[in-house]
Structure formats: C-alpha cells, structure tokens
Amino acid sequence: MNWRRFLRRETADAEQRAELEFYVDLTAQEYAARAIAYAAGENAKCDYFASHDLKDLNQHKVAIETLLPQLRIVKPTEFIAEWNERRLLGS
C-alpha cells in the first residue's frame, strides 16, 4: 500500500469541502433573496387589501349598521326548527 494516497486524500477532501461550502452559501443567498422578495410581496398584498377593505367598509357602513341589529345567534337546532316551520308554512 502506498501511504501517499492519504496525503492526497486530505487535499481532495479540502477541495470538496470548499466547493460544497460555496454551493451552500450560494443556495442560502438565493433562498434569502426569495424570502425577502416573498415578504415584500406579502406586505404589499396586505397593504393593498387592507386599504381596500377599509374603503369597502366605509362605503357600506350604513348597510352594515342597519343589518347588524337584525342579526341574532341561534343554536343549530333552533335554526332547523325555524327552517322546517317556514318550509311547512310555505307549502
């Protein structure tokens, strides 16, 4: 056996390690750029929809204020009973 191969192996391992570190750093930079772009897009989307939601709410504020008092919370069984009553009365 030739013992010199162990010395060459260390050099080859160092080269491979350096190459792998380069690709890992490059991939990490790409992922970071994507995450920043994604976060910026999400923020822009949230700002856009938040402003439109406020406009819609202001436009329909009167309708919401008139319908809100008419809303009531019922149990599912009460809803089914009322629905059956209305269905039978309508028939």
3-state secondary structure the chain: CCCHHHHHHHHHHHHHHHHHHHHHHHHHHHHHHHHHHHHHHHHHHHHHHHHHHHHHHHHCHHHHHHHHHHCCCCCHHHHHHHHHHHHHHHC
Range(s) of the domain holding residue 20 = 4-90
Residues listed for the chain: 91
Residue 35 vs residues 6, 29, 41, 89: alpha-carbon distances, Å: 43, 10, 10, 59
Whole-number pLDDT of residue 16: 86
What band does 6 get if pLDDT is binned at 50, 70 and 90?
low
Overall domain count for the chain: 1
pLDDT tens figures, 23-68 = 888 888 888 777 777 777 777 777 777 666 666 666 777 777 777 7
Give the mean pLDDT of 74-89: 81
